[in-house]
Structure 1
């Protein structure tokens, strides 16, 4: 199928996540900016590459859980300090709040991380595309490793049996 000039220029303006185009530098935010980011705020443009890294690295799900716990820290602290009840009830209320909050947080994990990437200025679907590309690359490496191991086993078998 031939690509028209207009389609070609459109493709060049929106590089794919797996293209070799130079990526934004990964500049980690300062602790106070990370706290703002964890609470749902945006980061400066210089941290744009880090936001993409944060939401697509192999530990993106654990980073999301940590951000969720940071978001829940303030209400949980208020419950523990201000609830006019015994410590057992305070702990139960805090534990229930954390459990319910984590259920919702994990249920909407992909959408929440995608929203962070969009807030950083990337098109919708960028984080998912990066994670998918990383998964496919890992699967390809594993497939090649398994094929090489199978070839070594077959060679050992041929050497042992003389076939």
Structure 2
């Protein structure tokens, strides 16, 4: 059985497929769970959202026959609005990814909550507050 350090990652094509909402093979399901529950899960979600919007941004920048300043502002505005929309549904979209990977709905949120509870407990521990010499 593989440990966390040996977990298989998707190749670039698989990751792009995953970013666009595709389902990964069964052997990558543990990676999906790790991706959606890591400390940086929300940054990963936004990175996937940017990848989803890149084709439209590219069309806006290179195919629309208006001055370049207009194309830049339209692309940037679309990207900002798209990221805001994506952020509004971040938790739901992440849970949908986890469900596609065969885990029960709510698994990612539950794991993130457990981790944050554990981190809060560790921060409040006496050994954290006073340092090594506080038990003398």
Shared topology, TM-score over 0.5? yes
Aligned length: 134
Aligned partner of residue 122 in structure 1, secondary structure:
coil
Q: 1:108 to 1:62 in 2, by over 3 A?
A: same
1:57 alignment counterpart:
38
What displacement does 1:146 show?
A: 6.2
TM-score of the two chains, using structure 2 as the length reference:
0.89
Q: 1:146 to 1:111 in 2, by over 3 A?
A: farther
Q: 1:31 to 1:150 in 2, by over 3 A?
A: closer
Q: 1:138 to 1:108 in 2, by over 3 A?
A: same
Asked if structure 2 preserves the Cα contact closer than 8 Å seen for 1:79 and 1:94, the reply is: yes
Q: Which has the larger radius of gyration?
A: 1
Asked if structure 2 preserves the Cα contact closer than 8 Å seen for 1:38 and 1:71, the reply is: yes
Q: 1:50 to 1:145 in 2, by over 3 A?
A: farther
* Unaligned 5+ runs, structure 1: 1-21, 156-163
How far apart in 2 are the matches of 1:74 and 1:116? 21
Let me know the Cα RMSD of the aligned residues: 2.3
What displacement does 1:26 show?
A: 2.9
Asked if structure 2 preserves the Cα contact closer than 8 Å seen for 1:51 and 1:117, the reply is: yes
TM-score of the two chains, using structure 1 as the length reference:
0.75
What displacement does 1:27 show?
A: 1.7
Is residue 105 from structure 1 mapped to residue 86 from structure 2 by the alignment? yes
Superposed CA deviations along residues 82-118 of structure 1, whole A, max 9, x for unmatched, are 1110000000110110010011011111111111000
Asked if structure 2 preserves the Cα contact closer than 8 Å seen for 1:26 and 1:48, the reply is: no
What displacement does 1:153 show?
A: 6.0
2:54 alignment counterpart:
73
Q: 1:33 to 1:153 in 2, by over 3 A?
A: same
2:29 alignment counterpart:
48
2:111 alignment counterpart:
130
Of 14, 20, 30, the match for 1:39? 20
Which range moves more in the overlay, 145-154 or 106-115? 145-154
